[in-house]
Amino acid sequence: MNKEVLSMRNHTKWPFLLIVCVSAALCQAAAPERSAAPHATRQALIGAWRLQRIEILGPKGSRPDPFYNTDSSGLIIYDASGWMSVQIVGQPRPVMDAPASRPTPAATARVAPRDAQLKAAVLDTYYAYFGTWEFDEATSTVTHSVKASLIPGETGLRYSQTATLDGGQLIFTVRQETPEGTVVRKKIWKRISSPEG
């Protein structure tokens, strides 16, 4: 084979290799944009969301939530008018029959110790409050203003957390600095309804 034929074959490979390399570089440059979570908007939060899981990651690794444990369930609802409600059920819950009527405060004061322990366990495995909500799109922060809560001392408090959207999931993230290091708590919710119904 003469030198001209070899030279032509080598020259025809370079444009092909150049196209492959440029294409690979463009794909790599575009990958982070495709994988990044979309910027949340107030409108995108409106609707009902079911709790999928709670993740806590600290300096010593992941651990279950000390209040809700694993397999917790819950529901959070954001209304377009600015009202919200959240309920979370921890596991395991004690078994308790539905009362025939609501007890009066006087009857509650005379509860037997065993019944009092059961009621405390029921309260300790359930969490709920309602109030108003705001969303700061610049910082992707949702803030709940508690109007009433299962825990009376929370009334009037404000809770803020970072909100990101990833597919059909809404992820709340709170970072806390502790003496041991940073603890990151995430609540992952899945959409079950949208403003369109």
Range of the domain at 18: 1-36
Residue range 92-103: mean pLDDT, rounded: 75
End-to-end C-alpha distance for the chain, whole angstroms = 72
Structure-model confidence comparison of residues 106 and 126, the more confident one: 126
- Rounded CA-CA distance 168/189 in Å is 8
How many domains does the chain fold into? Answer: 2
Task: Output the pLDDT for position 77.
Answer: 97
pLDDT at 12 over 50: no
- Non-local (6+) Cβ contacts of 145 within 8 A are 131, 132, 133, 134, 157, 158
Say if residue 129 is in the same domain as residue 165: yes
- Rounded CA-CA distance 64/55 in Å is 7
Task: Output the pLDDT for position 28.
Answer: 35
Task: Output the pLDDT for position 132.
Answer: 98
Say if residue 46 is in the same domain as residue 30: no
Say if residue 32 is in the same domain as residue 46: no
pLDDT at 25 over 50: no
Percent residues over pLDDT 90 in the chain? 48
Say if residue 18 is in the same domain as residue 78: no
Assign residue 84 the CATH number of its domain. 2.40.128
pTM: 0.71
Taking all residues of the chain, what is their mean pLDDT, rounded to a whole number? Answer: 79
Say if residue 23 is in the same domain as residue 112: no
Structure-model confidence comparison of residues 58 and 130, the more confident one: 130
Contact, 71 vs 91, CB < 8 A? yes
Residue range 115-141: mean pLDDT, rounded: 89
Say if residue 69 is in the same domain as residue 141: yes
Nearest residue to 91 via CA among 71, 121, 113, 64: 71
Task: Output the pLDDT for position 78.
Answer: 97
Both tokens of residue 10? 């080598």
Structure-model confidence comparison of residues 94 and 174, the more confident one: 174
Task: Output the pLDDT for position 68.
Answer: 77
Task: Output the pLDDT for position 105.
Answer: 65
